[in-house]
Structure 1
Amino acid sequence: MLLKVLIIIICILYIVRYVFKLLLPAIFRTVINNAQQQHAGQQQNYQQTKRPDERVKVDYIPEGQKGKVPDSEGEFVDYEEIK
């Protein structure tokens, strides 16, 4: 009786192992394909929502500011080049 149960359990384990060998690659393949499709969809949504022109346009520069660096930008430090 105990030998029969042991043989049945071993047979069931081998069958389950064989089935998993067949099904697991297919399951992984579908999961990976779904993840790739979601990623591609997210990239497409990002590209569609991206503004077409992201350059900064300056329409007005005050007269006193042209070519002048404000004092708040820091101070110039003299340096000597050594050769």
Structure 2
Amino acid sequence: MWLLRMLAKLLLPFLFKKMVSKAQEKFKTSYNQQTFGGQQQYRSEPRNNGKISIDFIPPKDKEARAADKAGDFIDFEEVK
């Protein structure tokens, strides 16, 4: 029993570290395949820090435009 306890103290930390590192590698590979489609994609143009570029502005629907013209709304509490 004593020998089994000593072996467990020596081997279990090593086995857990190995198991965790395998899980990390598996997660990294699955994440890279999902985000990049299995390939690394790099932009051909360098990005300028501090500048904003907008590629697409979705059109506003009629309800959103009507809410913009409705005026100011004031929050209040009802006092009894």
The TM-score normalised by the length of structure 1 is 0.49
Residue of structure 2 equivalent to 1:27: 15
Deviation at 1:56, TM superposition (A): 4.4
Q: Show CA shifts across 1:58-82 (max 9, x none).
A: 8xxxxxxxxxx76433342233xxx
**Which amino acid counterpart does residue 5 of structure 2 have in structure 1?**
R
Aligned residues: 55
Question: Is residue 2:26 matched to residue 1:38?
Answer: yes
> 52, 63, 67: which one pairs with 1:72?
63
In the alignment, structure 1 segments of 5+ residues that lack a partner are: 1-12, 59-68
- Once residues 30 and 38 of structure 1 are traced to their aligned partners in structure 2, the CA distance between those partners, rounded to angstroms, is 12
Q: Percent identity?
A: 17
- Once residues 33 and 21 of structure 1 are traced to their aligned partners in structure 2, the CA distance between those partners, rounded to angstroms, is 19
- Once residues 61 and 21 of structure 2 are traced to their aligned partners in structure 1, the CA distance between those partners, rounded to angstroms, is 56
- Once residues 35 and 44 of structure 1 are traced to their aligned partners in structure 2, the CA distance between those partners, rounded to angstroms, is 14
The TM-score normalised by the length of structure 2 is 0.51
Q: Show CA shifts across 1:28-83 (max 9, x none).
A: 01101110110110121022229x7xx5488xxxxxxxxxx76433342233xxxx
**Which amino acid counterpart does residue 72 of structure 1 have in structure 2?**
E
- Once residues 32 and 16 of structure 1 are traced to their aligned partners in structure 2, the CA distance between those partners, rounded to angstroms, is 23
Greater relative CO (CA pairs within 8 A, separation 6+): 2
